[in-house]
Amino acid sequence: MAATRETLVGRALGGHAALGLLAGALLYVIALTGTLVVIHERWQRWEQPGVAEMATLSPDAAQAALRSALVQDEGKPRTTHFYVRLPSADLPRAVVTTDHGGWYLDTGGRIVARETHGWTEMVIGLHEYLHLPTTWGMMLVGMLGVVLAALCLTGVLAHPRIVRDAFRLRIRHDPQIARADWHNRLGVWTLPFVLAVTLTGGFIGLGSVGFGVLARAYAGGEIEKAYAPVFGREPPPDARPAPLPDISAALRVLRARVPDVTPTYVIVHDPGTRGQHVQVVAEHPHRLIYGETYRFDAAGRWHGPVGLAGGAIGQQAAASTYNLHFGNYGGPAVEIAYLSLGLALCVVTATGTTLWLCKRRRRGMGSHRLEAGWTAVTWGTPLALVATAWLRGALGPDAPLVAGFWGVAGAVLAAAVARPGLVRADTLRTTALGAACATGLGHALLLRPAEPAVLAIDAALVGLPLLALAGLKRFRSGPVAKPAPV
């Protein structure tokens, strides 16, 4: 009986450890992909270099883009929305999108290429909803954000000297002590950033679920009515046919009425019907909001702003959440800060679970499979991201990237579980970082991009892995037996 009880307890502990490893793995994947998503518009340019770029798109060219998109949609079901994305500093390209696809434009509003950044979209989807059904995935990611915020706070409370020792790094000691110091110090340095992005991420993920609940409870299941107090109400639909709206007039009116804002999107709702209307999203300088939405009728007549810039506090707070979470404010300096802090969060997440595994081993509860599994997560995830970039390059824009990512990541994890001795940290680490370096070098040599922003990504893909390999040399593969303060 005692032996049976011990076996049951051992299995329960093993199951508990596996669940802890799963939660840590998902947090790590979200942290890593979130770091990449900070510059997702630059990744779009990297994925599809050589497309016509411009600083601005004229109102007449934007109007021509609608006609160009209408030609592309011939023979297809009527689209419910037209989107014209205007050039910006991060993405100096004009794009027109319908329900059936997106296309890049030239300065005259003519279509020049299909928009095909499937790898970037795959990374965004992985970060936002883990490639699960959107509602469930965003809910899970939102809850994990709250969990990460709780881990940060409890980590600080569990280490009374953590702030006093914020600049104490024993990097010349045993690798395990150095790993613990990096985990603790980076945890302190990134604490304000982590709390900001996790709480805003939780708001974004769980907020969509909350609006769905409100819609079912108070708006007869119509999600648009639930969103209306924040993002504005939609006029009643009228499906009778009508000519396309005059968005060039709307853009000119906006420029005359609010000259200090920068239009970023033109949205046409229910195009080609009498119920159609136009919205122009515009950035406000020196504001954290992602933009204000200005409303127009089909003739381009002014109907006023929604209120994201000057409305209720709740509206302004909701409109500020997205930029605060993704770092879309303040220009390149903020981007670099978010990238650096995001990478630091990846280190904190990875080393936290590694230290936990070390503690288990010191207590006689070590598991080679758990340790190899965590190695598969920390280095198999970036390897899978690089592998899908190669898959995108080899098979084109319609390559099965989601299946490719989970296939590679799952294969590495399965190998770690089945044959733990084959998945060594130093080997997998060198493979992943070497693959990233080869990707940047190959991209630059084969595609020969001319855009400085694209070349900068290639340079980072080559240089950062080399720096990481040099910095990680001193850490021996796998947990060590020597105790270390955590």
Name the one residue in this structure whose structure tokens are 């108070």. 218
Q: How far apart are CA 392 and CA 443, in angstroms?
A: 12
pTM summary value: 0.88
For 96: left if phi > 0, alpha if psi spans -120 to 50, otherwise beta; the answer is beta
Token pair of 374 as six digits: 């965590």
Q: What are 283's strand-pairing partners?
A: 262
Whether 423 is in a domain gets the answer yes
DSSP 242: -
The fraction of the chain above a pLDDT of 90, given in percent, is 56
Q: Could you list the residue range(s) of the whole structural domain that residue 450 is in?
A: 14-46+121-200+329-471
Rounded-to-integer distance, Cα 208 and Cα 423, Å: 39
Q: Residue 365 is which amino acid?
A: M
Domain count, the chain: 1
Mean pLDDT of 82-87: 96
Residue 348 to residue 354: CA distance in whole angstroms: 10
| Residue whose C-alpha is closest to residue 45's, from 453, 463, 456 | 453
Distance between CA atoms of residues 36 and 124, nearest Å: 9
| Residues 425-475: tens digit of each pLDDT | 889 999 999 999 999 999 999 999 999 999 999 999 999 999 888 877 655
Of 217 and 121, the structure prediction assigns the larger pLDDT to 121
> Which stretch of 94-98, 268-272, 369-373 has the lowest confidence by average pLDDT?
369-373
Q: Is 437 a member of any domain? A: yes
Cα dist from 106 to 57, 82, 328, whole Å: 9, 17, 25
**How far apart, in whole angstroms, are the C-alpha atoms of residue 352 and residue 339?**
20
Q: Say how far apart CA 268 and CA 224 lie, in whole Å.
A: 16
Among all chains, which residue has been given the structure tokens 């220009």? 331
Is 276 domain-assigned?
A: no
Q: What is the average per-residue pLDDT within 391-410?
A: 96
Averaged confidence pLDDT in the chain: 86
Inform me whether the pLDDT recorded for 164 exceeds 70.
no
Does 283 reside within a domain?
no
The pLDDT of 281-309, averaged and rounded, is 94
Q: CA 226, CA 206: separation in Å to the nearest integer?
A: 15
**Rounded alpha-carbon distances, angstroms, from residue 381 to 225, 377, 387:** 40, 6, 10
Please choose, from the candidates 98, 92, 91, 44, the residue with its C-alpha nearest in 3D space to the C-alpha of residue 68: 98
Q: Cα(141)–Cα(31) distance, rounded to whole angstroms? A: 11
Residue 94 pLDDT more than 70? yes
pLDDT at 362 over 80: no
Q: What tokens were used for 238?
A: 């009228």
Of residues 367, 252, 363, the one with CA closest to residue 299: 252
Stretch 55-76: mean pLDDT, rounded?
Answer: 92
The answer to whether the CB of 182 falls within 8 A of the CB of 169 is yes
Q: How far apart are CA 175 and CA 307, in angstroms?
A: 54
How far apart (Å, rounded) are the C-alpha atoms in residues 262 and 205?
28
What 8-state DSSP symbol labels residue 82?
E
Q: With respect to residue 270, please indicate whether it lies within any of the assigned structural domains.
A: no
Residue 220 scores a pLDDT above 80: no
Q: Is residue 186 part of a domain?
A: yes
Q: Does residue 281 have a pLDDT over 90?
A: yes
Q: Does residue 399 have a pLDDT over 60?
A: yes
Q: What residue spans of 190-312 are helical by DSSP H?
A: 191-218, 223-231, 247-257
Residue 96 tokens read as 């027109």
Q: Please name the amino acid found at residue 266.
A: V
Does residue 233 form part of some domain? no
Q: Is the residue at 136 inside a domain?
A: yes
Identify which of 173-182, 264-273, 313-322, 327-336 has the greatest average pLDDT: 264-273
